[in-house]
């Protein structure tokens, strides 16, 4: 099973720019299926980025983050080859995690 997490982390001078795309339905609970029944809410609640074990970004998400969510941020420090660990949990207890090398 391929990871649900895609990351592009690029060190440019003093800062590292991180872009992430995650495969997740992010169902809001407000949309009906073809039978007219509400699709239960299913969304990532917390997404964490750790650089060499130190948290550099924490996202708390609600139902209004788009399907296959995307987020971009940048932090100081971080060099080519450093580890960036990304992990998420969702409201149903689902979780995924992956470690990427900064480019």
Partner 1 sequence: MATRVGRTGRRLSVRFLLISLASLVVTLLQAPAGADSVDPAAEARAFRDYFLHKFPNVKPDDFVNGPYALNEDMRRQWEEKEQFPPYEFSLENGKELFARPFANGKHYADCFADQGIAIRQNYPQFDAASGKVVTLELALNQCREANGEKAISYTGEDMAALTAYMAYTSRGMPFDIKIPNDPRAIEAYENGKRYFYTRRGQLNFSCATCHVQNPGEHLRAEVLAPALGILNAMPIYRSEWGGMGTTSRRFISCNSQVRGVPLPPQSDEYRDLEYYLSYVSNGLPISGPGSRP
Partner 2 sequence: MTTSIGRFPVTRRLVLRGAGFVTLAGFGITSFAPAALAAANDKYPEDAFRQKDGKEAIRLLYGRTAEPSDQIKLDAPEIAENGAVVPISVSTSLPNVTSVAFVVPANPNVLAAYYKIPEGTMPDIANRLKMAKTSSVIALVESGGKLFSAAKEVKVTIGGCGG
Binding site for partner 2 (CB under 8 A): 15, 26, 28, 30-32, 45-46, 54-67, 69-77
61-83 as b/e, with b when 16 or more CB fall inside 10 Å?
A: beeebeeebeeeebbeebeeeee
The Cα 14–Cα 40 span in angstroms is 43
Please give the residues from 3 up to 62 whose contact with partner 1 meets the rule CB under 8 A.
6, 8, 19-21, 23
Q: Which does residue 8 touch among partner 1, partner 2, none (CB within 5 to 8 A, set by kind)?
A: partner 1
Q: Which does residue 77 touch among partner 2, partner 1, none (CB within 5 to 8 A, set by kind)?
A: partner 2
């Amino acid at each position: 099973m391929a990871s649900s997490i895609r990351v592009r982390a690029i060190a440019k001078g003093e800062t590292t720019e991180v872009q992430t795309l995650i495969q997740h339905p992010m169902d809001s609970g407000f949309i009906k299926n073809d039978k007219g029944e509400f699709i239960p809410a299913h969304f990532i609640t917390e997404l964490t980025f750790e650089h060499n074990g130190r948290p550099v970004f924490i996202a708390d998400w609600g139902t209004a983050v788009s399907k296959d969510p995307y987020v971009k941020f940048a932090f100081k420090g971080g060099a080519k080859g450093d580890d960036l660990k990304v992990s998420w949990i969702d409201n149903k207890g689902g979780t995924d995690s992956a470690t990427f090398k900064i480019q």
